[in-house]
Structures are given as C-alpha cells and as structure tokens.
Structure 1
Amino acid sequence: MIRYVAIALMWFIFNQDCFAQSKTLQFRSTDAALQTAFERAKEMALSYRGKSGDLVGEWYEAALPERSAFCMRDVSHQSMAAEMIGLGKANKNMFLQFAGNISDSRDWCSYWEINKEGKPAPADYRSDEEFWYNLNANFDILNSAWKLYLWTGDRSYVNGPKLANFHKKSVNDYIRRWVLQPDSLLSRPLHPNAGASYDDEDSFQRCRGLASYSEGVHDLKMGVDLIASLCRGMKTYADMLRLNGLAAEAKLYDAKAEQYRQHIEKQWWSEKNGKYFTYYSSAGSFGHTEGETFLLWFDVLNDSTRTRKVIDEILSREWNIENESYFPYLLGQYGYTRQVRDYILHLTDLKTKRREYPEVSYGVIQGIVQGVMGIDADARVNRITTLFNGRADDTHTLENLPVLQRKISVTESRSKTSFQNTGSSAVQWRAMFTGKHPFITVDGVKRKAAQMTVKGARMVSYLDVNVAASRQVTARVD
C-alpha cells in the first residue's frame, strides 16, 4: 500500500511540475539550435531565483553569483527578461529596494548592490561615506522602470511613492550633487563629494561615484555612457510627466535631454577615427575604452550613419560577457539578423567562459523575444507590436508571454504572423513586416498597409488590428 501511495505522490508531483512548466514562457522554432539556446537560457535564468525564506523578499541574482545579491546595473538589464519568465513580483520588490534606499547622506545614491538579507552587499559598501557606485545607475533604474510600465501597464513603476521620489530626486538633486549639468560634464571635479580624509588608494572612496560603467581607467572624469544615461533619463522623465498630464513641465526635461544629446554629438565624435570617444580623463584628454554599447542601450543616437559606425565598431572587436549579453536585443532592434543569432548561440554555448553570469541568460531571453521576434508593448495605447527579425526560412513560436496584464502567443515567419490574445480584454496588435508592402491580409481580408522607418533606417509596413479576448488573428504579406 505504501508503495502505491509513493508512486501516486510521485505522479502528482511530476504532473504538477509539468503543468507549471506549461504555463511559463515557451519557445519553439524550426531552428533547432535557437530553440536549444532558449531552453538553456530559461533554465539558467530561473535557477537564479531567490529562496522563499530570504529576508529581502522575492528576488533573483543579478550580480556575481557567489554574492547572493542584485546590483542596480544588472537588475536594469535583466528586468525585462525577468518579467517575461514570470518574475514580475521579484522585479517590483527589487526596484522598490533600490528606490527606498536613495539617501541624502549618500548624496542621493541608493545601495549599488543589495544581498538576500536585504542589506548593502559588503563587497560594495562599508559606510555611507565609503561605497562603490557607478553614477549611471539611477538613470538606468529610472529608464527600466519606465520600460516595465510600458510592458506591464503597472503605473506604480512611475507613480508609486518610493519610485516617484527616486525618479524626481535622480533628475534634480542627484545631478546637482554630482555636478552632472550639461555645461559641467568636462569641467566637474574628479571626485565632487570626496571627504576631508579622501584616500585615492581606497577603492571604496575612489569609486564612490564613478562617472561610467567602464571601470578600467583610473583617472576617468566622464564617460560617454554616463552622458547617454543622463540624456535618456531626462527624456524618460519627460515621458513620465506627460503620462501624468504635465506636458509643459515635460518640455523642460525634453530640452535638457537634447542638451545632453547635442553635447555627445559635438564633443565626443571623432571625425579622424570615425567613432565616438568613450571617456574624458582628468588630464583633459579624450580616449577610447568600453562605452559604445550604451549609446545604443540608452537609444540616444539620431544620425543613422554614425549609428552604423557604432555598430560596426561593436562587431569588429571582442567584448566582455556583460556587453555581449546586451547584443542580441540591441542588434535585433537594428535588423542584424545573422549577428543576433550568432551571439545567442555563442552566449549559450557550453564552452563559453562566464556564461553562468546572470546577465547572460536573461540577455538571451530578451534577445529572442525582442531581438529575434521584435515584440514590444506600449501600455499608454494598449498596443503590442511584432516584427520578425529571424532568418528567411525560419518560423518561431512564443507561448505564454506575459505582457499588458495578459498572456499572448505569437507565431512568426518572414511573411506571416499569428497573434493569440488569451487575456480577458481586447488589445491593439500592430503587425509589422520588413519591406514596403501596399497591403497586409488579415484573416483573409486584404487591407491597406502603412509604412514607417524604424531603427537602422529599415522600411517596414504595418497595420493596427484590434484583437478581442480569447481570439487569434493571422496577418500576412505577399
């Protein structure tokens, strides 16, 4: 009898696991290698979930794995994929942890890295006067909170008390305290908030307010990536103000964003080298190290020729695993189909060094959903967009993708996309196809298509379709 009970219990547990698995994000493809890459990435990403008894609450690892912690940069870059694989509650908790710890005593910084006990990670924090902090972080969190709102429709990422305070302090007090105004970027002190007992040999003091994510230049005064984050931070905050009906105030922040963008174009572009400088030293000279990636990450480039040269530079050299983890998503936005696939396969190759770094698996998931399949959302207009960025002969399917408080399934190929809305209310679907097509056929009915240019100067044709609850719609081009 005991034997049969044990077998029944094992059967129940197995089927419960299968049922739970079937309700999470699934990816199928005619490209077997890409499907394997997704499965590896999803398994690894979910393995980084925190335990239910951890004092910090729900979380996932977003730092060096042995630290049992999450840092502001990595969370900003992992949060979209985390949402896609069902870790939305962890996202909310982690963003609130960062927002709730912004402090005047830390010059409006938060804790760069928080561990599973809900405390600042000792590897990066000694006291409010001595801690590691990259100044891009506040604007990365601000912008990622906005992206999560657009994807989920959860306005608390914009207007929740802790996050609203974080956003406002970051675009005002934080900038003043760290001397980050557009006209001060090259003349600011190297260490604006250094104490009287400042010790340049102590990394907890020297790195309290690094002006870049690039940490290899000892006397770096300003990084182009920080200016890009400032530009995007101002633009995103303007969008937040518009969402709240404050159009006049939003224009002020639009103007600030443009000042930062113009500074990048006028001061940081090297005509001689055909690329952007990435840092400015305390000796008063420009130089090149990491940084180009964030011109794309923060989406601050308007000149398509210069943008192409940035991408050419990225593709011409080797990068650390952190930068590589962003490429499937970023390059997909610009239509680099082959390179996106190559990076995804590289990042999930069992021989790739440091593939266990958490940003990698999350970057692959985002790269497949948004890079390869071109899925995006805009809660302001209740719209989901699809744009196939795969190889010509491939067909890809995503199931159980959580977006705009519902789950959707999408099957895409170069000329045909099916969109299933499994939610309880209608959603606007913008079906996009690369190229100029006069018509898009929707469920057998030919309709006139509109055209627009997207990133990478690509011409796309599109049609907006209202998809009712529990309905599936198919669009195709000839």
Structure 2
Amino acid sequence: MIKLAFNTLLLLLFIPFCSFAQEISLKSDNKYLEENFTWAVQKANTWKMTGKSGEINRHEGGEGLGYKAEVKFIPSYWAGYAHRSAYYIRDFVHQIDGAHLVGMDEENFAMMEKFAEYTTEDKKWYSWWALNFDGSVFTLDAPNPPGIGTYQGYPSDFVNKPGESFVREIPAMFELVEKAWKSYLWTGDRRYIEDEKLWRMYEKVVTDFVSLHDSDGNGIPEGQGDIFQGSSTYNEADIHPLEAGDAIGSQYQAYLAYAAFLSERNLKQQAKEQEKNAAALKDYFNTNWSVVEVTNLYASATTSSHEKYPFFNKETSWFMPMKLLTEPGPRNEAYLDFISEELGDGVGTANAKKGSPANIEAYTYLPDTYFPYGRVDEAWKWMKYIIDEKEKPHYVTKQGNNGNYPEVSFTLVSQVVEGLMGIEPNAAELTISTIPRLPAEIQYLALSNLKIGEHTIEVYQSKNKTEITNSASSSPLTCNIRFYGEHKHMFANGKKTKAKTAMLNGKIYSFISVQLNPGEKVVATL
C-alpha cells in the first residue's frame, strides 16, 4: 500500500470550508446526465417524511381501514405508489442505497428496524408488506380482522391467524437482510450489528423462514400462488411459479450478508457455515436447478407442476445475474444477451417486445443488472430510457407521471455512484473501491460530498484517471483504485507504481491501494 505524506497546511486550509450537511452533487461533460442527477437528488428529498404529520392508510380507494388524518411520522421516506401513504419492502430495499447518498441514514435505519420488528413467527417470519409513515401497518395489504367497523389500526401485539391472506413475496425478506448489510457498508453504523430486532430478523430469515417454506427439502422456499397467498417472485402478473430465480438470487445474497454480519460479531465458524450455504446454493442453481436439456439458457422458475420454466419472466429472469447468482462466463453472457433481446428498447418505443414491462419501476433494475459485468453500454441505455420516460404518464394513472414514482429518483442517484463510477464502500474498514464504467457519451464524472461512514470525499472518474480526495474526516481512508484490463503499472500522483490484478464478475482488473490522510488527494492514472 502506498502511504502519502500528511499535508498539514492543506488540512488546515480545507477543513473549515467542508460541511457534512452539504448535498451530494455531480459535474460532468455530459450535461444531460448532470442535470438529471441534480433533478434526482432534489426529487428524492421531496419524498422525505421525517418530522412531518399527515394521513395514514390512504390509497386509491380513499380512506382505508384504520384511516387517520393527522399522525406524526417517524424517520421515513416514500417508497411505493405516490397515491398510497406507505412505504413497501420491495421499493425500500431498492431505494436504500440512493437514500443513503442523499443523506437519509436515519430514515433507512428506522424503516429497516420497523420491518424487522414486524418479522414474526405468527407470519412464518414474513414481515408486513407495507407500513404507514408512522410505522404502523398499512392495512390495504394486511388481513382484515374482526370488528372492522370500528377498527382503528393494528395493535402492537396483533397476531396473524394461520391461513390469513396478506401480501408477501419471498425475495423481499432476503433482500432486507442483504440491504441491511449494504447499509452497514455505507455507514459503519454499529446498530446494524447490535440491534436485537434486526439480528433476530437476519437469523430467522436465513434459517426458520427457509425451512418453514421449503416443503420438498431442496433448500429453496416455495411460493403458494399470488401475492396474497405468498409469491415466490417479484413478477406478480404472470405464471405464479413454485420456485423462482429472483428469490434464489436474493437468498444467495442474504446468506452472504448474514455470514458477513456473523464475522462482525466475531462468530467466525458460524460465518464460514453461512458462506458454505451460499456457495452450495449457487452451485445447485448453476449445475442443477437452472439446467434445461433443450437450451443453454437458465431456467428462471419451476411451475406449480414442478416443471422447469426456461422462458423470459421479467424480474424472475434478470434478478439472477443482478444478484450474481449466475456463474460468469459464456452461459451468463448469453443470458444477458437474451434479456436484452426480450426487452427490445422498452415499452413505448418502436422496438418494444412482448417481454417489455409496462411499469417504469421494473426498468430501474436493469442498470444494476448490466453494470456488474462491465456491460456499460446496455446499463447506460436503460439509464437514458428511464430518464427519457420520467415525464410520461405512469402505467398506473393515479400514480401520476413516471418521475413521481419514488424509485426512479433514488435509483438514478445510486446508479451514477455505484454503476457508472463503480464505487463500493466499506465504512467499517475505512475503505473505498472504485472502477470507472463510462460509456462513450461520458468523458468524466466528478462527484462531491459523498459520505462513507465518517468520511466526506470527492471522486473524479474518467476512463484512465481516478482522483479521490479525503475531504473531511478524522481518520485515514484506504482507496482501492481499479481499472478494467491487465496493467502492470499505474501512476499515483506521478509516481510509477506496480499494480496487482484480480477478477470482478468474470472480468480482469488491475488495482493499487493508496492510504489518504484527512485533507489529502490522490490522482491515479494508467
């Protein structure tokens, strides 16, 4: 590791002008992206509900069961339809990275803790699907108990009766565990390790939740039908499969996340067991579950009659590579091609295909599917598609336009930072890793006021240059600066430095590690 000299004068001159409250911002030669990033940050902040008061249990049907007109809200933000006064698990876990980036760490923790609190044995370790902004149950998606004429909401000790109908989707529970770990990487907040409600959720979801919903013993939870019976997939509209690829991919990431949590508690042996569970699940998926004799494509689901389903099935399909469940190589690359072919250029375009989803929020997953494999042009194509569609009416007309679906703004922010700029945080270890993924239409990106734990940093990326400044902190920051390809050397502040190589999702990259003290900057070039 290269250690740069501490520059006391720079530190003294710079720190007084830094502000932890400053908003993340982007500069770029591509003004289209720069302007829309600014829009996304501002729009995401309009969805913040913290400190406000308002309605609960309001939806398209009007005043729902347990409706109240004026209730004080907990730290929270909108995650779901704009005409429903609630936040949903699925939207929340996809918005959580963007929420951190726009300064909503307390909201992320409070919302996560509420979902964990409602993850209970009486629901076979499901949580409630949606919550009001005061943290109470959003009754539209929950069972209707007796006495609804006078019922004013679910008491804290409400117990779900066996067989009750309520919205539940298997991938969501696994994503809660995965994204809790991701929030810890961004923040270093020890509450994600030490909070008892969260820990119970992590443990129960990867153990009892799996066993209670796995009747055939293959280690994969099964759906029971539609969303009110218990869905195995996020694709709510099509085949209602028994087992689904998006659930397996999410389960794989939950095992890895729980293993990492165990390591943070110094439970090394248990962590190794969970890592083995993750590896075994991935191997079973790639060598057995997904294999169909008539095609080299992956099966994306098994039907209620236990037949493999080797066809495109929207989220069921693209979550498999997005969650890194598929093994990098020719089969995975062919499947990414297959997804592109099935989508065409998206609904509403001249090249719309049968597989093109009608709802904009489905497309917000696609950049996250293609960026990890270095398929920059496809990821950028879908980012542009989402931006260009944001002023058009949403598929659900009461929602308003596409840009008023909260997921659109939150994910645009995270996909610039994590996708185009390739930034991976590890706040607990005081580390940032970067890898530029810029299409031809973008020559550079310069990000200011990025928070990783206690650090506020600036990052500049072009295809062959990365600059990182440890702007405001009290501790050093380790920077793993990465570029795709095999390069024997890089230059750090003009000094020729031997580079190491490694693999990232099937692609080779070269890297150097640099330690920055507070106020220091590194310029790394090929």
Name whichever of 399-408 and 351-360 sits farther off.
351-360
Residues 21-420 of structure 1: pairs in structure 2 closer than 5 A: 23-54=22-53, 55-127=72-144, 128=160, 129-179=164-214, 183=218, 185=220, 191=224, 207-217=228-238, 219-265=240-286, 266-287=288-309, 288=311, 289-290=313-314, 291-316=316-341, 317=343, 318-319=356-357, 320-349=359-388, 350-354=390-394, 355=402, 356-392=404-440, 394-420=443-469
CA distance in 2, matches of 1:56, 1:167: 26
1:102/1:166 contact within 8 Å kept = yes
Deviations 1:52-81 (A, max 9, x none): 134341111111111121111111111011
Amino acid in the other structure paired with 1:367: Q
Amino acid in the other structure paired with 1:281: T
Higher helix share goes to which structure?
Answer: 1
1:252 positional shift? 2.0
Residues 428-447 of structure 1: pairs in structure 2 closer than 5 A: 428-447=478-497
1:231 positional shift? 2.0
Alignment: residue pair count: 444
Deviations 1:234-254 (A, max 9, x none): 222122212222221222222
Name whichever of 242-251 and 160-169 sits farther off.
242-251
Amino acid in the other structure paired with 1:169: K
Over 3 Å counting, the alpha-carbon distance change for 1:184 and 1:25 in structure 2 is closer
Deviations 1:237-287 (A, max 9, x none): 122212222221222222222332233221223353332222222222222
The answer for the alignment partner of 1:16 in structure 2 is none
SS of corresponding position for 1:139:
helix
1:329/1:367 contact within 8 Å kept = yes
The answer for the alignment partner of 2:348 in structure 1 is none
1:329 positional shift? 3.1
2:242/2:303 contact within 8 Å kept = yes
CA distance in 1, matches of 2:255, 2:486: 34
1:108 positional shift? 1.3
CA distance in 2, matches of 1:458, 1:120: 45
Over 3 Å counting, the alpha-carbon distance change for 1:424 and 1:21 in structure 2 is closer
Name whichever of 321-330 and 89-98 sits farther off.
321-330
Over 3 Å counting, the alpha-carbon distance change for 1:308 and 1:160 in structure 2 is same
SS of corresponding position for 1:322:
helix
Using structure 2 for the length normalisation, give the TM-score. Answer: 0.80
Deviations 1:60-104 (A, max 9, x none): 111111112111111111101110111111101100110111112
CA distance in 2, matches of 1:443, 1:461: 17
SS of corresponding position for 1:421:
strand
Amino acid in the other structure paired with 1:445: K
2:231/2:240 contact within 8 Å kept = no
Over 3 Å counting, the alpha-carbon distance change for 1:67 and 1:382 in structure 2 is same
1:436 positional shift? 2.0
Deviations 1:315-370 (A, max 9, x none): 22123422311222332222222222222222122444532321121111111001
CA distance in 1, matches of 2:293, 2:24: 46
SS of corresponding position for 1:183:
coil
1:387 positional shift? 0.9
1:28 positional shift? 0.7
SS of corresponding position for 1:410:
strand
SS of corresponding position for 2:83:
helix
CA distance in 1, matches of 2:510, 2:266: 31
CA distance in 2, matches of 1:400, 1:182: 48
Amino acid in the other structure paired with 2:489: F
Structure 2: gaps (5+ residues) = 1-17, 54-71, 145-159, 344-355, 395-401
CA distance in 2, matches of 1:137, 1:396: 33
CA distance in 2, matches of 1:207, 1:78: 24
CA distance in 2, matches of 1:421, 1:233: 32
Matched, 1:465 2:504: no
Identity of aligned residues (%): 25
Amino acid in the other structure paired with 2:381: D
SS of corresponding position for 1:28:
strand
Deviations 1:365-403 (A, max 9, x none): 111001100111123532101111113560110000111
CA distance in 2, matches of 1:313, 1:40: 33
SS of corresponding position for 1:111:
coil
Over 3 Å counting, the alpha-carbon distance change for 1:248 and 1:20 in structure 2 is closer
2:292/2:308 contact within 8 Å kept = no
The answer for the alignment partner of 1:424 in structure 2 is 474
1:209 positional shift? 2.2
Alignment RMSD (CA, Å): 2.3
Structure 1: gaps (5+ residues) = 1-18, 192-199
CA distance in 1, matches of 2:331, 2:34: 34
The answer for the alignment partner of 1:6 in structure 2 is none
SS of corresponding position for 2:319:
helix
CA distance in 2, matches of 1:90, 1:219: 33
Deviations 1:379-431 (A, max 9, x none): 35321011111135601100001112221111111111110112221110011
Amino acid in the other structure paired with 1:333: P
CA distance in 2, matches of 1:398, 1:181: 49
Amino acid in the other structure paired with 1:95: M
CA distance in 1, matches of 2:277, 2:304: 25
CA distance in 2, matches of 1:308, 1:49: 39
CA distance in 1, matches of 2:240, 2:52: 43
